[in-house]
Amino acid sequence: MKTVHGTAVARGGRGVLILGASGVGKSGLALALMALGADLVADDAVQISAQGGEVTLSCPVAIRGMIEARGVGLLTVNFVDKAKLAFVVNLDETAEERLPAPRVAPYFGVDVPLISGKNTPALASVLWCLLGGGQLMPTE
């Protein structure tokens, strides 16, 4: 197991790991997804582990069920104990093309679809669709 600086939310057991520098909007994106119906997995510190070829997201006990709302404070919210990692979003990266080629991030030997999230229009809506069972299509 390893712990990363990030935020994770889930829908129906499928999770998205949101990465980026402090203050870039990880918690804000998570809150937008939660407003659509997602559940919090973890905010600020996400535990990532693998078993049987599946990568799982979870939360350290000390911060379970809490998320920071910048300028408001810490909130207690509904949460899930774990979720299968379905997508990774990096809020520090901008997609250079309108329809970028699919990319992956390796976690414990599993390639997970990677999305460049900086300046991506309707990102919360895109992630909501993907977490609901959507897939990234090849652009070739």
pLDDT at residue 84 above 70? yes
What pLDDT, on a 0 to 100 scale, did the predictor assign at position 102?
A: 86
* Domain CATH for 69: 3.40.50.300
Instruction: Judge whether 98 counts as a catalytic residue.
Output: yes
> Does residue 138 form part of some domain?
no
> Does residue 113 form part of some domain?
yes
Phi, psi (5° rounding) for residue 31? -65, -40
pLDDT at residue 140 above 80? no
> Does residue 139 form part of some domain?
no
Instruction: Judge whether 84 counts as a catalytic residue.
Output: no
pLDDT at residue 139 above 90? no
Instruction: Judge whether 92 counts as a catalytic residue.
Output: no
What pLDDT, on a 0 to 100 scale, did the predictor assign at position 137?
A: 84
Query: What's the angle, vertex CA 125, arms to CA 31 and CA 110, rounded to 5?
Result: 85
Domain that holds residue 30: 2-131
Catalytically annotated residue among 44, 84, 103, 118: 44
> Does residue 136 form part of some domain?
no
Q: CA-CA distances (angstroms) from residue 10 to 16, 18, 79, 128, 138?
A: 6, 11, 9, 9, 24
> Does residue 140 form part of some domain?
no
Report pLDDT digits (tens) over 54-79: 999 999 999 999 999 999 999 999 99
What pLDDT, on a 0 to 100 scale, did the predictor assign at position 27?
A: 97
Q: Please state the domain count of the chain.
A: 1
Both tokens of residue 81?
A: 């104990």
